[in-house]
Structure 1
Amino acid sequence: MARRRVAARATRRPPAPPAQILPDLALPRMVRRSVESPSAGTRSRRNPLDPRNARGQKKGRPRSCTLARMARSAGFPRRRLGRSRCLIASRVSRISGVPRKRGGARVIDRESPDTRLLPMALEAEKGLLCSMMVGTWDLREQATTELATDSFGHPAHAIIFQGLAEMHRAGMPCDFIALTQHLRDRGQIDECGGPAYITELFTYLPTAANFATYAEHVREKHVLRRIIAHATDMAKRAYEPQSDVGALLAEFQTGAVEIGAMGTDVEALRPVSRDEVVNRLEVIETRYKQRGKLGGLSTGFHDLDRMTDGLKAKHIYCFAGRPAMGKSALGTNIAENIALHTIEEHRQPVAFFTLEMPREQVLDRILFARAELNLQRIRDGFMRESDFPKLQQAASDLIRSKLIIDDTPALSIAQFRSRALKAVRKLHARLLVIDYVQIMRGSSKRASENRSLELTEIMAGILETAKTLDVPIIILAQINRGAEDRAGSVPTMADLKESGAIEEYSNFIGLIFRPAYYAKTDQKREEIASKYKVDLEDVDTVAEIHVGKNRNGPTGPVRLRFLGELTRFQNQTERLWSNNEEHRQQIEA
């Protein structure tokens, strides 16, 4: 009879599932042996995934021992062994990569970063909220200024902070009774734990002495949560088949920069100290003793340096002009004068971002200008034997220079900030040059819909880059046709193309003007020669930079010489003004 019952049961058994091929290191040793050992069609007491083993054997306890060992290997306590079958099956299903379609207990994977709790400083949040209730008005003002509701990881703490901020702005007392009533009136008292939890927070600390420490912990955890959220979103979008790599990378960089700004020091607002004032007096005394030496990088143009006192860190210098007026030539000349200084000890690394010209064209301009060779003649191949030594010397100087060139077209502001960071931190660049700013792209979707907003975003990003990296930035810009319709064609700042953001964010604006460009008749050329006191054949060399804005000095025209065949600007005046009478320029009668 027993044999017949066993045979009948055997006929009703479902076919055994095929043995799963699992990685050697994916499962604990006991789980691997129990899954891989049974052969197809054979019942095994030691396979917890075999559906025929849903009910235990009456005789012997090998399967229970196996489950106990597997439960300990999977990280479950012994007291939960009653549920270990579905728990371990769920764990094994996830480790092996086979989805578990049947219902059952859901186990949090302690090894997956996607299911771990987000970073939060709960104790620090409680201490901060208590400090706001027992602290002074100034403390609450600081908290509401530096923190926001999303700074708190616990939803209840975010609601309580929002309530305290609203009460503080309304001039209400911020004790626990007033806070409880405020939250009750808004129907939020139950969402934050009820009156009992408010009372617990109020009595959590005796004083608010360590408020700054609590606030710093809360900010740090907030930054970590933002990093996780941004990285998770970027990873999810990177898996999409239609993802635009360039746009995704730009958005990733923009988000990273924004998160980085959150982690910066918030103690920038502070009263003037004695040390700061004394330091400024020492700088003034040093400048007096240096007898006219510049406070920043020299552009190589003496009269321009006299107007600007050199290119200073954290400043934006804009040089604008119409097409073919010499914007790129001026930017290239300044970069060359600093990176290829005649005194090797004075050479400084310069990063030149050319969005308009290819890298090869920038190098050709520098080579031919330093060799004093006609660019058009060289391009046509009409060279003399005497030109080669000068060209070789120019090439040798360029090889030893500290010039960094990036010719990425349509560079976005996020890409620029990322590459500027590398140029300054790794290549030690002391100056950044952008040719030219209107070709740059914004990074946000909102700005891309409006060109004026896009330029505002670009200029704000450039200014933040200059301040963060502590370097001066030269931007070249284009002006519109308004100057050509004006008598004399002299440009003004109102002619800056597309946006007033350039005028707003720049510390210095110089408008390039070459009067001979607009002189179409001999009479016009004679008027220019008379006005600028040059010979008629030198009219084409007359160039001016009209300084329309200068936060650190005077405004007005700066006279230069322009050599069109070399695409090069030169000094009109030979010596700088100086506090030393022996070195001072002589004023022309």
Structure 2
Amino acid sequence: MIHCDKQFLPEALELEAVVLGALINEAEMMTQIVSILEPEHFSDPTNVAIYRVMRDMYDANEQIDFYTVVNRCKTVEALKQSKIAVLLSGYTQKVGSGAHATKHALIVKEHYIRRKMIEASLRISGMASDQGTDLVEALDTFSQLADQCNDVAAGGTMAKPVAKIVETALKQAENRCSLRQSGQFPGIPTGLSELDRLTGGWHSSQLIVIAARPAMGKTAFMLHLAKSAALFGVPVCIYSLEMADVSLADRLLLSETSIDPDRFRRGELESNEWKQLEEASAILQGLPIYIDDNPTVSMRYIKVRSKLMQKRGKCGMVIVDYLQLADTATDRKNSNREQEIANASRQAKIIAKELGVPVILLSQLSRRVEERVDKMPLLSDLRESGAIEQDADVVGFIYRPAYYKQETIKTLSQGEISTKGVGILSIAKQRDGATGMVLFSHNPSLTKLGDYGQNLDTNPYY
């Protein structure tokens, strides 16, 4: 670890004394100064303790003057050894008035930010030099420290007046109406018309959980959503914890062709099929889809990488396939699997809010689904944690009745229909909207998805 001698850190001891002296002389200045300075912004420990006393007195609406501050400081352990009356008397004599107190307070704060920047730089330098430090951990620490410095410089997040928030809400409502009048939805298109009508598309800061039992088509559905967003111009970051990137690329290629997947895997392709692949490749290479197939990633890793991609303009939506395969280990002792999954779910929601993008989190369902006569998943089937349901803005379940030997199903809009090539996305929760079921069509290999009744022999996107 690299160290820096404290004497070389920027500080403004004289101005710290001037600010404290001005506050004792003119206590009404406290209202302005407390919105600028925190106790830790002072570099001298004695000044830190004095300002903390004065701020506590201000919060308690107590009289602040030389006499009251001296008496209160005498009760503070950290100040008992100081000749506090002499010290504060000297501070008050340094200023004639509090006219420049605000300006001086800002300079004190600026010196604090510079100290924090130096300390952060030294810490990161030490971590970067240590070959035993995990690189993702170092990047996350770097990002956190930079954010902390930015937060202090910006004065922290202030509560917004409701008038401003309502104004923003009205503008967003106007924008949604304008989009609908032009035949568009306000969110990122899902690639399924009925799902767009039900949800309005995916929206910024949403956590969308898509859950299913194995073999229901989670990955196929995920790729469909990714491609739909990318075709709309939204860059998509996929974290594939289950499948290799080339395997996902194979599926994407097949989704743009009529090639039989088994023949594709066996290498039994004819010249016209190679032409289809080349055309599919040209389409896909123009889409802003980015795949990270590192199989051992944590939510922290996903947050760091997504932030870096967003700064490069390459992250407008995040997809994680899937939650239970993520590294959910925590530093907490005696934590169980359910608590770890709950923490990972919460982190996914934080990622959505911090980046301001939709995060689609794929999840497994418990085996309880298989034990029921009706195999349609319920919210209680979310595997290992009820926290997933709590954190999610939208929860959808993928269900293919034909897989369970159901030949027909009854629907409200279509009556009784065949289950061949039909899937159901059941929206069981939507924080800001209605729930319901969306029918979709798929081909036998689950490489193509589209609206119910759509002919998937043609490209569903063009």
Shared topology, TM-score over 0.5?
Answer: yes
**Which residue is 2:44 aligned to?**
154
Within the alignment, does 1:389 sit opposite 2:269 as a pair?
A: no
CA distance in structure 2 between the partners assigned to 1:284 and 1:237 by the alignment: 47
How far did 1:289 drift? 4.0
Indicate which of 180, 184, 203 corresponds to 2:70.
180
Indicate which of 506, 521, 539 corresponds to 2:392.
506
Please state whether the residue corresponding to 1:379 is helix, strand or coil.
helix
Within the alignment, does 1:323 sit opposite 2:240 as a pair?
A: no
Please state whether the residue corresponding to 2:252 is helix, strand or coil.
helix
How far did 1:332 drift? 0.9
How far did 1:456 drift? 4.8
How far did 1:333 drift? 0.8
CA distance in structure 2 between the partners assigned to 1:487 and 1:205 by the alignment: 84
Alpha-carbon distance change, 361 to 492 in structure 1, aligned in 2, over 3 angstroms: same
Please state whether the residue corresponding to 2:432 is helix, strand or coil.
coil
Please state whether the residue corresponding to 2:450 is helix, strand or coil.
strand
**Which residue is 2:318 aligned to?**
432
CA distance in structure 1 between the partners assigned to 2:217 and 2:398 by the alignment: 7
Alpha-carbon distance change, 175 to 208 in structure 1, aligned in 2, over 3 angstroms: farther
Indicate which of 261, 274, 286 corresponds to 1:400.
286
Within the alignment, does 1:368 sit opposite 2:249 as a pair?
A: no
Alpha-carbon distance change, 492 to 217 in structure 1, aligned in 2, over 3 angstroms: farther
How far did 1:295 drift? 0.9
**Which residue is 1:565 aligned to?**
445
Contact 2:238 2:318 in 1 (8 A): yes
CA distance in structure 2 between the partners assigned to 1:498 and 1:202 by the alignment: 62
**Which residue is 2:132 aligned to?**
244
How far did 1:509 drift? 1.7
CA distance in structure 2 between the partners assigned to 1:202 and 1:573 by the alignment: 82
- Which string of whole-angstrom CA distances, capped at 9 and with x for unpartnered residues, describes residues 300-321 of structure 1? 1111111221222222222122
**Which residue is 2:459 aligned to?**
none
Please state whether the residue corresponding to 1:559 is helix, strand or coil.
strand
**Where do residues 39-438 of structure 1 align in structure 2 (5 Å cutoff)?**
113-114=4-5, 116-122=7-13, 125-126=16-17, 129=20, 134-135=27-28, 142=35, 147=38, 149-168=39-58, 172-191=62-81, 194-201=84-91, 204=95, 206-207=97-98, 211=102, 217-233=107-123, 235-236=125-126, 244-246=132-134, 249-262=135-148, 263-264=150-151, 265=154, 266-273=156-163, 277-278=166-167, 280-290=169-179, 291=181, 292-339=183-230, 341=231, 346-438=232-324
Please state whether the residue corresponding to 1:405 is helix, strand or coil.
strand
Please state whether the residue corresponding to 2:395 is helix, strand or coil.
strand
Contact 2:46 2:79 in 1 (8 A): no
- Which string of whole-angstrom CA distances, capped at 9 and with x for unpartnered residues, describes residues 102-140 of structure 1? xxxxxxxxxx95464323344554465457651378658
Alpha-carbon distance change, 304 to 250 in structure 1, aligned in 2, over 3 angstroms: same
CA distance in structure 2 between the partners assigned to 1:132 and 1:302 by the alignment: 63
Please state whether the residue corresponding to 1:351 is helix, strand or coil.
strand
- Which string of whole-angstrom CA distances, capped at 9 and with x for unpartnered residues, describes residues 228-274 of structure 1? 4444445556666xx5342xx23323322332332223243121346
Larger radius of gyration: 1
CA distance in structure 2 between the partners assigned to 1:383 and 1:533 by the alignment: 41
Indicate which of 340, 364, 367 corresponds to 1:481.
367
- Which string of whole-angstrom CA distances, capped at 9 and with x for unpartnered residues, describes residues 313-360 of structure 1? 222222122222222111111111222x3xxxx433222221221110
CA distance in structure 1 between the partners assigned to 2:407 and 2:49 by the alignment: 77
CA distance in structure 2 between the partners assigned to 1:374 and 1:162 by the alignment: 72
Please state whether the residue corresponding to 1:471 is helix, strand or coil.
coil
Contact 1:509 1:548 in 2 (8 A): yes
How far did 1:277 drift? 4.3
Indicate which of 381, 402, 425 corresponds to 1:495.
381
Please state whether the residue corresponding to 2:227 is helix, strand or coil.
helix
Alpha-carbon distance change, 221 to 527 in structure 1, aligned in 2, over 3 angstroms: same
Please state whether the residue corresponding to 1:509 is helix, strand or coil.
strand
Please state whether the residue corresponding to 2:43 is helix, strand or coil.
coil
What is the Cα-based RMSD across aligned positions, in Å? 3.5
Please state whether the residue corresponding to 2:449 is helix, strand or coil.
strand
How far did 1:559 drift? 1.9
State the one-letter code of the partner of 1:545: L
Contact 1:561 1:572 in 2 (8 A): yes
- Which string of whole-angstrom CA distances, capped at 9 and with x for unpartnered residues, describes residues 10-32 of structure 1? xxxxxxxxxxxxxxxxxxxxxxx
How far did 1:380 drift? 2.7
Indicate which of 536, 546, 549 corresponds to 2:426.
546
How far did 1:393 drift? 1.5
**Which residue is 1:69 aligned to?**
none
CA distance in structure 1 between the partners assigned to 2:113 and 2:14 by the alignment: 17
Contact 1:319 1:327 in 2 (8 A): yes
How far did 1:515 drift? 2.5
CA distance in structure 2 between the partners assigned to 1:178 and 1:483 by the alignment: 69
CA distance in structure 2 between the partners assigned to 1:440 and 1:217 by the alignment: 45
CA distance in structure 2 between the partners assigned to 1:530 and 1:150 by the alignment: 63
Contact 2:395 2:430 in 1 (8 A): yes
How far did 1:407 drift? 1.3
**Which residue is 2:457 aligned to?**
none
Contact 2:236 2:315 in 1 (8 A): yes
**Which residue is 2:353 aligned to?**
467
CA distance in structure 2 between the partners assigned to 1:229 and 1:450 by the alignment: 36
Q: Which structure has the higher relative contact order (CA within 8 Å, separation 6+)?
A: 2
**Which residue is 1:556 aligned to?**
436
Number of aligned residue pairs: 442
CA distance in structure 2 between the partners assigned to 1:377 and 1:529 by the alignment: 35
What's the TM-score, normalizing by structure 1?
0.66
**Where do residues 521-536 of structure 1 align in structure 2 (5 Å cutoff)?**
525-526=406-407, 528=409, 533=415
State the one-letter code of the partner of 2:212: G
CA distance in structure 1 between the partners assigned to 2:341 and 2:17 by the alignment: 43
How far did 1:412 drift? 2.5
Of the structure 1 ranges 278-287 and 548-557, higher mean CA displacement relative to structure 2 is found in 278-287
What's the TM-score, normalizing by structure 2?
0.82
CA distance in structure 2 between the partners assigned to 1:452 and 1:320 by the alignment: 17
Alpha-carbon distance change, 468 to 364 in structure 1, aligned in 2, over 3 angstroms: same
Contact 1:314 1:472 in 2 (8 A): yes
Please state whether the residue corresponding to 1:504 is helix, strand or coil.
helix
**Which residue is 1:45 aligned to?**
none
Alpha-carbon distance change, 234 to 338 in structure 1, aligned in 2, over 3 angstroms: closer
Please state whether the residue corresponding to 1:489 is helix, strand or coil.
coil
Please state whether the residue corresponding to 2:214 is helix, strand or coil.
coil
- Which string of whole-angstrom CA distances, capped at 9 and with x for unpartnered residues, describes residues 60-101 of structure 1? xxxxxxxxxxxxxxxxxxxxxxxxxxxxxxxxxxxxxxxxxx
Please state whether the residue corresponding to 2:9 is helix, strand or coil.
coil
CA distance in structure 1 between the partners assigned to 2:99 and 2:386 by the alignment: 46
**Which residue is 2:460 aligned to?**
none
Alpha-carbon distance change, 177 to 366 in structure 1, aligned in 2, over 3 angstroms: same
CA distance in structure 2 between the partners assigned to 1:331 and 1:323 by the alignment: 14
